[in-house]
């Protein structure tokens, strides 16, 4: 499927390509396919490719002197029918402890949505989430697919300290805080896993196009996994999916 795209300069070194402004699995697949095509044609010229929900920012190593020509070239690349190597993506299983000790906003969400805590947890774990892009903090995954029953406004006053591993809901999204930070999302649980590790060759295990499956674990299991993660013996469960 091809989309009507818009192209515009974004500073001296970049071109911003935009799709229809909706959150959509097919669009994120198209973005990833287009990114692969572009890198195949001119990887040596490119500094970075930054993916958004419905955008792709191409950052070049040198100032773009002939922007119109570059945009024309990018349009040609998008229209190419040539096949690209299939991109392998994964479904990652993420254990989460939803005990009230960790899910400090669960009771507030339950009261305001009139959903029992158990149902909130069930709705949150019954969904397969798509990783659209990574941002805000290194390793912070922007996930699509949250059940509409769990849509819940962000806090009017953000917390100064949200704990590392906090699983939270903000508006129509859910995500995991990879490090302790300030944040205004509503915390419903905590995972003992590292979402960003500078000691790894690939610091963030997930990438755009992957999927996340949350599973509920007890406090005892949480502490056990946390110790295994600390020792480096825990392996995140994953299954291969192919998007292209």
> Does residue 169 fall inside a structural domain?
yes
pTM: 0.83
Whether 86 has a pLDDT exceeding 90, the answer reads: no
pLDDT in tens, 2-59: 799 999 999 999 999 999 998 888 899 899 899 999 999 998 999 999 998 899 999 9
| CATH number, domain containing residue 69 | 3.30.1360.40
Crossing angle between the packed helical segments 106-113 and 117-125, to the nearest 10 degrees: 100
* 137 and 190 in a common domain: yes
Residue 244 has a pLDDT of 47
Q: In terms of domains, do 126 and 45 share one?
A: no
| Selected residue with higher pLDDT from 185 and 133 | 185
Q: Are residues 140 and 54 in the same domain?
A: no
Question: Do strands 141-144 and 128-134 pair parallel, antiparallel, or not at all (unpaired)?
Answer: antiparallel
In sequence order, what DSSP letters do the residues of 32-75 get, joined into one string?
HHHHHHHHHHHGGGEEEEEE-SSEEEEEESS--S-HHHHHHHHH
Within a domain: residue 1?
no
Q: Identify the pLDDT of residue 105.
A: 97
- Same domain? For 209 and 97 the reply is yes
Residue 48 is part of which domain span? 6-79
E strand or H helix at 161: strand 159-162
Domain count, the chain: 2
Q: Which of 54, 79, 104 is the last residue of a domain?
A: 79
> Can you say whether the dihedral through the CA atoms of 209, 215, 219, 223 is positive or negative?
negative
Q: Span 146-170, mean pLDDT?
A: 95
Contact 95, 217 (CB under 8 A): yes
182 and 94 in one domain?
yes
pLDDT digits 0-9 by tens, 64-80: 999 999 999 999 999 98
Of 62, 79, 96, the one marking the end of a domain is 79
């Amino acid at each position: 499927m091809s989309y009507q795209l818009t192209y515009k300069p974004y500073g001296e070194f970049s071109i911003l390509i935009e799709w229809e402004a909706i959150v959509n699995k097919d669009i994120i697949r198209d973005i990833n396919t287009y990114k692969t095509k572009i890198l195949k044609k001119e990887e040596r010229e490119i500094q970075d490719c930054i993916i958004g929900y419905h955008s792709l920012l191409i950052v070049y190593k040198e100032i773009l002197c002939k922007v119109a020509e570059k945009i024309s070239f990018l349009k040609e690349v998008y229209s190419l029918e040539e096949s690209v190597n299939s991109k392998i993506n994964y479904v990652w299983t993420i254990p989460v402890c939803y005990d009230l000790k960790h899910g400090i906003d669960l009771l507030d969400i339950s009261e305001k949505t009139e959903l029992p805590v158990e149902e909130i947890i069930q709705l949150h774990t019954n969904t397969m989430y798509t990783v659209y892009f990574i941002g805000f903090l290194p390793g912070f995954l922007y996930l699509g697919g949250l059940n509409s029953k769990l849509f819940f406004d962000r806090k009017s006053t953000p917390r100064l300290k949200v704990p590392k591993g906090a699983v939270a809901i903000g508006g129509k999204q859910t995500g995991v805080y990879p490090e302790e930070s300030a944040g205004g999302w509503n915390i419903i649980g905590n995972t003992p896993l590292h979402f960003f590790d500078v000691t790894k060759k690939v610091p963030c295990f997930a990438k755009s196009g992957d999927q996340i499956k949350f599973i509920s674990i007890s406090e005892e299991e949480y502490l056990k996994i946390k110790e295994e993660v600390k020792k480096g013996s825990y392996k995140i469960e994953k299954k291969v999916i192919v998007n292209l």
